[in-house]
Amino acid sequence: MPGQIPLIGEKFPEMEVVTTHGKFKLPDRFKGKWFVLYSHPADFTPVCTTEFVAFAKRYEDFKKLNTELIGLSVDSTWSHIKWAEWIKDKFNVEIPFPIIADPMGKVAGKLGLLHAASATHTVRAVFIVDPKGIIRAILYYPAELGRNISEILRMVKGFQVVDKYGVALPANWPNNEIIGERAIVPPASTVNEAKERLKNYECFDWWLCHKEVPQEEVEAVKKLLKG
């Protein structure tokens, strides 16, 4: 049976994992860094193969954001290693990040990633975890649809902008249909603060105010979206 998936805002569950880069503990392994853990249904499958190539090709972009990658499926370590060798041989792409081997489904079960229809397959999911080990986002995808790596990079960069400038980001940022490249000012919590918002920011109303973020942040995320 699938386990209970952790919630956004909770600490990533502590666990020891066996990977293609050896044993280590999560989230301690990436303390002080962001990390993206993504699960895939199985090795040697078409969609998953395209995803691993795509993640590997963007690995340096993740590293520039102080972010590490780690894969996961219920396959064995030898299967992961052989699959990575096959990818290198066929596409000349090295898989530079660790892949968790979880043949007993213990890690997947702890994260709520065992497929409801088949306990022998992990679902296609993504956890984005911040440097304090807090889960900031969880994404689920069906087996037949591969992930958009640029969007995951946009999310990591977006969270970093949110944390640094104390803002929220609109839909499709930095190409929003209403405020463009600007960021949303968090809503007021008192009557007086609501009145001041209208004086201090550009607003459609006191609950929807916006402001600029440094242009270098905007250009950085646009570059990520271009790939």
List, by residue number, the catalytic residues: 48
* CB contact at 8 A, 146 and 50: yes
Contact 37, 70 (CB under 8 A): yes
Q: Tokens standing for 82?
A: 């052989």
Cis link prior to 174 (omega < 30° from 0)? yes
Q: In this structure, are residues 31 and 21 in contact, taking their beta carbons and an 8 Å threshold?
A: no
**71, 51 Cβ separation under 8 angstroms:** no
Q: Look up residue 134 and give its DSSP letter.
A: B
In terms of C-beta density within 10 A (0-12 exposed, 13-18 middle, 19 or more buried), how is residue 212 classed? middle
How far from the centroid of its chain's Cα atoms is residue 5's Cα? 16
Determine which helix (DSSP H) or strand (DSSP E) holds 103, and give its type and residue range: none
The DSSP bridge partners found for residue 17 are 24
User: Phi then psi for 195, rounded to 5 degrees?
Assistant: -65, -40
Q: How far apart are CA 171 and CA 48, in angstroms?
A: 28
